[in-house]
Structure formats: C-alpha cells, structure tokens
C-alpha cells in the first residue's frame, strides 16, 4: 500500500512538472498561478455556500419535526379527553363553563386553547401590559399565572396552614399537599413545606428589590424587570400569590439531588402536583429551572402533563 501511495505521489509530481513544462514560451506562469488560485477560491466559496445551505435546510427540518412532536402530544391528550367524554355525561351546567380564567373586564374572552376540554384562556399580555385575570370557580386548579397573566392585587385566597408548619396554601391545595406529604413520609421522604402562600405586597417588595439589584448592575429599567422576572415573579403573577404552589424543603438547586426530589418526580402527579418550571422549558415558562417549586393542577391534568412532558402554557395552548 505504502509503495502504491508513493508511486501515486510520484505520478502526481510528474504530471504537475509536465504541466509546467508544457507552458508555451513567453507565457507568464504567475498569471496561470493566479488563475489557478482564483479557481480554488471560487471552489472554496461555493463549498461554503453549499454547507451553509445544507445547515439551514437541516435546521428547518428539525424545527418542523419539533412542531410535529408537540402537536402529536396535544392530539394524544385531546383523544384521551374525548374518550373520557364518551363515558362521562355532560351536564347542562358544565357546557356553560367559560374556563379557568377570563379577562377581568370581559365576559367573552378570546381563546387560543387547543385541547377541547381545557378552559378558554385569554390572550397573554406582556410584561408591561399584563392581562388581568379572574379565576373560574369550576376549573380554578388550571389558573395560569405568569408575567403575561396576573391576578388582581385584591385577590384573597382561602388559606390554611399546612402540615403543622408556618406555611399556608389555598385550602383545597393544602388538603392534596397533606395527602402527598403523608404518602412520601411512609416512603422515607420528608416534603417539608418551605414557602407556600405569599401576599401580593410581599411579592411586590421582593420583585422590586430584585429589579433594583439588576439596575445596580447596569441594566436598563426594562431589562432589569425582565431579568428579575426569571427569578422572582412580578406581583400577581406568582403561583405563590394564588396559594397553589409550595417550595419544598428549600429553594436551592441542590434539592434536585435529594431523595425527596426523586420521590416527587415519581409520585407527585398522583396527588395533583407538577414540577412547574422544568429545566428544558425555560424559554416557554420564562422562569429558571426550579426543582423545589411544585404546583397543584389536579390529579388528571398532572398525570397528562407528566405523560406528555408539556408545561401548563403548552397544555392551555398559549405557549409563545
Ligand atoms: Zn416557588
């Protein structure tokens, strides 16, 4: 093989030499070289364009596949919900349900909901002009709050203390939390309530402090508000203001390495709780990965979200 290779190399050298020798007298060889270099440059540029084009096409195909997968997940949920409808008789009152939330000043919310049985949800607002919501009595547990959807400052949940701790939750959520707490305890995991309900005023204070911190770092007002909201939700947009969520054990990233976190990942959906801000959904939720933050959405929805891997925004069809 090596000999053959050497021979090929020699042949190439000979061919090249022959080419140079056959140049007619008087022809400037530097002109030929320049032409050759230009041809090479053109070839390289062409290759670069082709590679870039292939890259763009692959990117588009990947994006399309992601959309298809997300759509399939939603369709799967729709099919399940339709199957439930067949066996569950629909009462006349149930058909009047307008959803978990509607704009506070409107009785006819615009809907972008995809799954038929999920409540109609108003269009999301922005950081500066959030949509103010009111909570539906029937599907209260699906109430979506984030930077674009906020409850009014006047909202007052019915609160009770949880598991003999100093933390409070919405009475209905507290009952589910106690059930989950006791089940985990039997398995050797202690789901200590760390931070439950927070008042609108307290949220406002915490959030403003964070905004000031980022402004001190040189951020503009707008940027500071946006950055702060990835860590501390603006007042009215936190699930802690609703009394639907509990920070369990602590509010620190090491929680993900505990047996309590492992237990929650395996069992929380059976008690109606979800990991609200997963690591791979930060672009959709707008919030950093929070392994300690567990939100109540009801057992049926929690199981569907767990199975599909969707977050609440996707489930309700308002993911940006
Ligand atoms: Zn939290």
Nearest to 276 by CA among 137, 173, 154, 200: 173
Instruction: Kindly give the distance from the C-alpha atom of residue 245 to the centroid of ligand 1, in angstroms, as a whole number.
Output: 6
Instruction: Kindly give the distance from the C-alpha atom of residue 36 to the centroid of ligand 1, in angstroms, as a whole number.
Output: 66
Q: Full-prediction pTM beyond 0.75?
A: no
Q: Which residue has the tokens 């569950």?
A: 88
Question: In this structure, is the dihedral angle defined by the CA atoms of residues 145, 146, 148 and 151, taken in order, positive or negative?
Answer: positive
Instruction: Kindly give the distance from the C-alpha atom of residue 84 to the centroid of ligand 1, in angstroms, as a whole number.
Output: 32
User: What integer pLDDT is reported at residue 300 of this predicted model?
Assistant: 97
**Eight-class DSSP state of 33:** H
Question: Within a 10 A sphere around the Cβ of 116, how many other Cβ atoms?
Answer: 10
User: What integer pLDDT is reported at residue 70 of this predicted model?
Assistant: 53
Ligand 1 is an ion; its neighbours by CB within 5 Å are 247, 293
The torsion angles phi and psi of 111, rounded to 5 degrees, stand at: -115, 140
- Strands 131-135, 149-150: pairing kind: parallel
Instruction: Kindly give the distance from the C-alpha atom of residue 137 to the centroid of ligand 1, in angstroms, as a whole number.
Output: 24
Q: Which is catalytic among the residues 239, 290, 313, 314? A: 290
Q: How many residues does the chain have?
A: 320
Instruction: Kindly give the distance from the C-alpha atom of residue 121 to the centroid of ligand 1, in angstroms, as a whole number.
Output: 23
Is 75 a known active-site residue? no
**101, 119 in Cβ contact below 8 A?**
yes
* pLDDT, averaged in runs of 10, over the chain (320 residues): 48 42 49 66 65 56 54 53 33 32 43 54 80 92 94 94 97 98 98 96 95 96 92 93 96 93 98 97 94 98 97 92
Instruction: Kindly give the distance from the C-alpha atom of residue 195 to the centroid of ligand 1, in angstroms, as a whole number.
Output: 7
Instruction: Kindly give the distance from the C-alpha atom of residue 247 to the centroid of ligand 1, in angstroms, as a whole number.
Output: 5
User: What integer pLDDT is reported at residue 73 of this predicted model?
Assistant: 60
């Amino acid at each position: 093989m090596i000999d053959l290779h050497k021979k090929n190399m020699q042949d190439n050298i000979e061919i090249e030499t022959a080419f140079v020798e056959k140049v007619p007298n008087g022809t400037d060889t530097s002109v030929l070289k320049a032409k050759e270099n230009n041809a090479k440059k053109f070839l390289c540029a062409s290759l670069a364009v082709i590679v870039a084009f292939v890259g763009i096409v692959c990117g588009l195909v990947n994006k399309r596949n992601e959309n298809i997968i997300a759509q399939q997940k939603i369709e799967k949920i729709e099919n399940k919900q339709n199957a439930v409808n067949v066996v569950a008789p629909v009462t006349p009152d149930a058909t009047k349900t307008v959803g978990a939330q509607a704009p506070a000043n409107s009785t006819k919310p615009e809907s972008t909901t995809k799954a038929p049985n999920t409540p109609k949800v108003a269009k999301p607002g922005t950081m500066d002009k959030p949509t103010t919501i009111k909570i539906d009595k029937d599907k209260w547990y699906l109430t979506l709050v984030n930077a674009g959807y906020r409850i009014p400052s006047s909202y007052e949940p019915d609160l009770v203390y949880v598991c003999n701790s100093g933390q409070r939750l919405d009475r209905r959520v507290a009952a589910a939390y106690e059930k989950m707490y006791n089940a985990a305890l039997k398995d050797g995991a202690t789901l200590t309530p760390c931070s439950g309900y927070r008042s609108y005023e307290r949220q406002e204070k915490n959030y403003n402090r964070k905004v000031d911190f980022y402004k001190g770092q040189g951020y503009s007002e707008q940027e500071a508000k946006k950055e702060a909201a990835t860590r501390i939700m603006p007042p009215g947009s936190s699930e802690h203001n609703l009394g639907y969520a509990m920070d369990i054990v602590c509010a620190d990233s090491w929680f993900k390495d505990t047996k309590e976190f492992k237990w929650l990942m395996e069992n929380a959906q059976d008690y109606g709780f979800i990991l609200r801000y997963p690591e791979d959904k930060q672009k959709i939720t707008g919030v950093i990965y929070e392994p300690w933050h567990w939100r109540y959405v009801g057992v049926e929805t929690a199981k569907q979200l767990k199975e599909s891997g969707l977050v609440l925004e996707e489930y309700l069809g308002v993911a940006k």
